[in-house]
Amino acid sequence: MAYRFPRLYKDLAVPIPWIRLLIAVLVLVSMGVGVDRAGKGLMEYPDWLDELLFVIRAAILSLVTFFGLLVASIAYFIPTVFAWRKYKRLRRIISVLNLFCGWTIFGWLILLAWACTPDKETEARPAPTL
């Protein structure tokens, strides 16, 4: 009876084959991350495979960094987006303040509250009679 290797990703129930392949590659890449006391990796790879794993790790780190910055940039400008979508009267001022003061959490929260509150309607004053 032949030994069957356990499938590491079977319990995840991922239906798309390329995601299964990605998970398998990530598991293999993470196996070489550990370092023993001598400073060498726990698994010894041939040079070409070591370089390939370095490139894969660098690509994964680059993608994570890119998408993290993308999400952070979108979240940074949420007050501006709300102001423009609600057609706020002072939406240009909110946009400029968000650009320069939004990096502070306090300023970002104030701008978000300002962008979400409705504009006060100006009351129609009766014309003065002569």
Name the residue ranges covered by the structural domains of the chain: 10-33+43-73, 77-116
Name the pLDDT band for 59 (thresholds 50, 70, 90). Answer: confident
Give me the chain's average pLDDT, please.
Answer: 76
> Is-contact 102 108, C-beta < 8 A?
yes
CB count, 10 Å around CB of 116? Answer: 13
Query: How confident is the model at residue 61, as a pLDDT?
Result: 87
Query: How confident is the model at residue 114, as a pLDDT?
Result: 92
Query: How confident is the model at residue 36, as a pLDDT?
Result: 47
Report CA-CA distances (Å) from 113 to 64, 77, 80, 103.
Answer: 30, 13, 11, 15
Amino acid at 9: Y
- For the segment 26-54, the average pLDDT, to the nearest whole number, is 63
Structure tokens at 98: 């968000």
Does residue 129 carry a pLDDT above 80? no
Query: How confident is the model at residue 3, as a pLDDT?
Result: 46
Which tens digit of pLDDT belongs to each residue from 72-123?
999 999 999 999 998 888 899 999 999 998 888 899 999 999 999 988 775 5
pTM (predicted TM-score): 0.53
